[in-house]
Amino acid sequence: MKYTLSSFVAGLVFGLGLLLSGMANPEKVLGFLDLAGNWDPSLALVMAGAIIVGVIAFAIARQRHVSFLGFDMRLPSGDQISRRLVIGSVMFGVGWGLAGFCPGPGLVALGAGEPKAVTFVAAMVAGMALFQLIERRRQSA
């Protein structure tokens, strides 16, 4: 129960942060990504703040074996840059630049009633399903 409650609270705080920072607003995100046009640098501060929090959180987490809620710590262990990682990163960036959403803000915008988010989330789910299909075929070959 405490895991479910803490997950809900963390998701709620994250979603509210995305809404308040403008990260769930595709026009604001696209303005940030438009370096050659009318660039809006305000999201750079949001990202810098998120990076600082993340660096501190990972530094603390690396020194712990158990989370604050008493669960085993499971941190990513990969440190290799693979072809799949690069391709996935490029696809993520292109999607973010075209839609103005990435997965978290897309879901928040969907919940906030943003019409463009419906198309984005549908495409995201279709992409995840396609990935699963390709992965299953790849692993069985």
Give pLDDT, residue 71.
Answer: 84
pLDDT 10s digits, 19-77: 888 888 888 889 988 889 889 888 888 889 999 999 999 999 999 989 888 888 888 88
Q: What is the pLDDT of residue 131?
A: 92
Over pLDDT 70: what percentage of the chain? 100
What integer pLDDT is reported at residue 74 of this predicted model? 85
pLDDT at 22: 85
Return d(Cα 95, Cα 13) in angstroms, integer.
25
Q: For residue 35, with 0-12 CB atoms within 10 Å meaning exposed, 13-18 middle and 19 or more buried, which class applies? A: exposed
1-10: average pLDDT: 86
| pLDDT above 90: percentage of residues in the chain | 40
Non-local CB neighbours of 65 within 8 Å, separated by 6+ positions? 72, 73
pLDDT of residue 78: 79
Query: What's CA 100's distance to the chain center, in Å?
Result: 12
At 62-117, the pLDDT tens digits run 999 898 888 888 888 878 899 989 999 999 999 888 899 989 999 999 998 989 99
What is residue 9's three-state secondary structure?
Answer: helix
Distance CA 74, CA 60 (A): 13
pLDDT of 23 reads: 85
